[in-house]
Amino acid sequence: MAPFRVLIADNLPPEVLERYNQLEELEIRDRSGISVDELAREIGEYDALVVRSRTRVTADMLQKARRLQLIGRAGAGVDNIDIHEATKRGIIVMNTPGGNTIAATEHTIGMMIAALRNIPQAYQALKQHRWDRKSFTGRELYQKTVGIIGLGKIGREVARRLSAFECRLLGYDPLLTPELADRLGVRLVPLDTLLKESDIITLHTPKIPETINLLNKNTLRQCKPGVVIVNCARGGLVNESDLLEALESGQVACAAFDVFEEEPPENWALVDHPRFIGTPHLGASTQEAQQKVAEQILEQIAHFARTRVAKNAVNFLSVDENLLPLIRPYFELARRLGHVFSQIKSGRLSEVNIRFYGEILDLPVDPIAAYLMMGALQGSGEPGVEFINPVNAMTVARERGIEIEITKKDHPLTSHTNLIACDFITGQETIHLAGTVYARNIFRLVEYGDYIVDADLSGIMILIENEDVPGIIGQVGTILASENINISHLSSGRIKALKKAVNIFNVEGVVSPQIVQQLQKVRGIHRVRVVTQEDAG
């Protein structure tokens, strides 16, 4: 197997690159500091791209990434990557959460103390040979009320260290449980309470639509006069123009930032304010952190090259490696069911209802549903589906207005120990399919519309709906034999009261449109459909 080609766009420790380049599954090219134009020219030749915060991976860039499967961020934040476009194109984005947690935590505490004690301003005065003690009288961190917005990995570590200063800790995080907050010594409060009661506010949230400009003119007015604002998380969480106004009015006593809306800043007015201190995005810039995130991202890429398991993917539901042998057959079953629909459908798909029964309930079902939708869209022949894979199948489906409902059923639907049942609804019909896994590589279609069947979900399948009368199967066999087509498997289903039947033939040979026309002319046959199942790529 050819090695996985990896392009390094931003600086990583050379000794780490050299060590991972010795793995047979990776071929690493170090292009640290590569320009946008050069990256656009070269990105199409690689399977994976590794960036830090410098390189912006835009939609235009990704349109040139015809081969790319992975984007690895050596760090936690991924706001410099167009995740939406990557997902549309089926490219997995992974990061390294926790790799720089300690570095960012220590930087936050350092910035907090530096702001309270005017350390940068006093240092600058001393460098100018001014001995000025009175102007730089500061405040202690000891027993202050600190509001922590966002209690993920870094926010929790900050809380642990602030407890050593005997700080009163308030926290705002809609996802954190009260039990964990109690263990951290943090009192969870609504955001407005945190703003009103905190002497110091430190931010530790991702940059998402809900957190952009979280601190702005209105929320800063709610703060305690003389509050200290610390942001070592993401630029844009605080509105910089509103913060400058609050610094000038004294509502904010001082601010300490490591991150900015634009990097480097385009408007230096905030940085120039005498009660603002800043650093140029150094939170993760320690030798230890850079070593750690480089090791972590390259190990994750090597692991993906070996196993196809994407650890720490931010746009794809990755599966625990221990579960992979159990869940992989259901991935394939779901894909094949979707592939049947894509080749027999009439009309545009508008809704899919997916139900899981039996042993499969012990496994994560959302990734299985992604494989089903991949199969349903891949063979549709519609424009824009050439990049469909499990990473983007659900996103593409929903962007096309397809409603997807996924449910787990505790009670067994049939005697099968596992079952995936789905209803595909188009503007013209509803197609019901259900399938099961008999063994690792034995996949069966057990429900087709209202019929109970036991058809092999492999190779070439001819699905014939006909009247329940003698002689149909014989006539079909005769036609196929005359064209040198062998029948490898046959499954029949009947609705006796309605005198209706379905016969599903697995065949070996080429089923041409002319053969389909011959079959359609047989008296008693209502509809003939042909499905070609392809092995998973």
Q: What six digits make up the tokens of 28?
A: 């690493």
Q: Are 17 and 30 in contact (CB under 8 A)?
A: yes
Query: What's the whole-number average pLDDT of the chain?
Result: 92
Better-predicted residue by pLDDT, 537 or 234: 234
Task: Return d(Cα 520, Cα 37) in angstroms, integer.
Answer: 57
* Residue 380 binned pLDDT confidence (cut-offs 50, 70, 90): low
Better-predicted residue by pLDDT, 159 or 266: 159
Check if 101-278 and 324-532 are the same fold.
no
> Is 112's pLDDT higher than 50?
yes
Looking at residue 223, what DSSP letter applies? S
Task: Return d(Cα 428, Cα 348) in angstroms, integer.
Answer: 8
Task: Return d(Cα 444, Cα 333) in angstroms, integer.
Answer: 8
* Residue 537 binned pLDDT confidence (cut-offs 50, 70, 90): very low
- HSE of 320 in the Cβ direction (CA atoms, 13 Å)? 7
> Is 12's pLDDT higher than 50?
yes
State which H helix or E strand residue 72 sits in: strand 70-73
* Residue 207 binned pLDDT confidence (cut-offs 50, 70, 90): confident
List pLDDT tens digits, range 118-149: 999 999 999 999 999 999 999 999 999 999 99
> Is 382's pLDDT higher than 60?
no
Q: Are strands 200-203 and 227-231 parallel, antiparallel or unpaired?
A: parallel
List pLDDT tens digits, range 155-204: 999 999 999 999 999 999 987 888 889 999 999 999 999 999 999 999 99
List pLDDT tens digits, range 318-342: 777 778 888 989 999 999 999 999 9
Q: What is the pLDDT of residue 522?
A: 95
Task: Return d(Cα 289, Cα 369) in angstroms, integer.
Answer: 37
- Domains of the chain, residue spans: 4-98+288-307, 101-278, 324-532
Task: Return d(Cα 291, Cα 320) in angstroms, integer.
Answer: 25
Three-state helix/strand/coil letters over 353-398: EEEEEEHHHHCCCHHHHHHHHHHHHHCCCCCCCCCCCCCCHHHHHH
Q: Are 477 and 435 in contact (CB under 8 A)?
A: no
**Domain 4-98+288-307 carries which CATH code?**
3.40.50.720
**Percentage of the chain lying above the pLDDT 90 cut:** 77
Chain centroid to CA 281: how far?
Answer: 25
Q: Are 85 and 108 in contact (CB under 8 A)?
A: no
Residues serving a catalytic function are 234, 263, 281
Query: In terms of CATH architecture, what is 101-278?
Result: 3-Layer(aba) Sandwich (3.40)
Task: Return d(Cα 220, Cα 214) in angstroms, integer.
Answer: 9
Question: Considering the entire predicted model, what is its pTM?
Answer: 0.64
- HSE of 26 in the Cβ direction (CA atoms, 13 Å)? 26
Is residue 414 classed as helix, strand or coil in its secondary structure?
A: coil
CATH superfamily of 324-532: D-3-phosphoglycerate dehydrogenase; domain 3 (3.30.1330.90)
Q: Are 327 and 440 in contact (CB under 8 A)?
A: no
In sequence order, what are the residues at sequence separation of 6 or more whose Cβ sits closer than 8 angstroms to the Cβ of residue 325? none
Q: Are 104 and 292 in contact (CB under 8 A)?
A: no
pLDDT (average), residues 103-109: 97
Better-predicted residue by pLDDT, 310 or 229: 229
Sheet with 525-532: strands ordered across: 486-495, 500-508, 460-467, 525-532
Q: What is the pLDDT of residue 248?
A: 97
